[in-house]
Amino acid sequence: MSVTVIPDVVTSGRLRLPLWSADEVADIHAGRRRPEWHPDFPRPDDRDAATLWRAGDPWGPRSIVRGRTVLGSIGFFGAPEEAGDGMAEVEVGYGLVAEARGWGFATEALGALLAGTDAVGVRVRASVDPENRPSIRVLAKSGFTDLRGSTEDGELVMVRPLR
């Protein structure tokens, strides 16, 4: 299965979503701070995302940047794979520092990435804790309308049909 990739830097009205560099991932792993990082970044989920980073992988983790400040991360859990119906599919994850929540940044960042996946013909799924209502709202606003059951951890698996 051959899939064209989305750009290294995706932009939206208020945000930039650049792929992480090797230096940024090294700083996350080492617990070093960068001046452009919000004081609460990286969160534990960002540190987990850093374990998925691979040099040169356009489907890896990205920063969610407003102005000059990194407010969180968004990215895929690897390259697209063929789903049971033969369609290319990838899983997305995202998160923001607490101070940045409620401003529409997660919805905007996800929408920008989805425009890229739509352009290259890749369907997207997400797993979400059923108690995480804000994230479920983000997914619903972004067109994740299919419920595919749950993971072994009890997370809902939501899918956005390809547009």
Asked, for residue 1, whether it belongs to a domain, the answer is: no
Residues 6+ apart with CB under 8 A from 72: 41, 43, 46, 63, 64, 94, 95, 96, 97, 100, 105, 106, 109
Cα(63)–Cα(15) distance, rounded to whole angstroms? 10
pLDDT, tens only, 45-83: 999 999 999 998 999 999 999 999 999 999 999 999 999
The number of domains in the chain is 1
Q: Residue 77 pairs with which residues in a beta bridge?
A: none
We report the CATH number of the domain holding residue 156 as 3.40.630.30
Asked, for residue 28, whether it belongs to a domain, the answer is: yes
Asked, for residue 2, whether it belongs to a domain, the answer is: no
pLDDT, tens only, 135-147: 999 999 999 998 9
Asked, for residue 110, whether it belongs to a domain, the answer is: yes
Cα(108)–Cα(56) distance, rounded to whole angstroms? 25
Q: What is the largest CA-CA distance in the chain?
A: 45
Asked, for residue 4, whether it belongs to a domain, the answer is: no
Answer yes or no: is pLDDT of 163 > 90.
no
Q: Which domain holds residue 81?
A: 9-160
Asked, for residue 63, whether it belongs to a domain, the answer is: yes
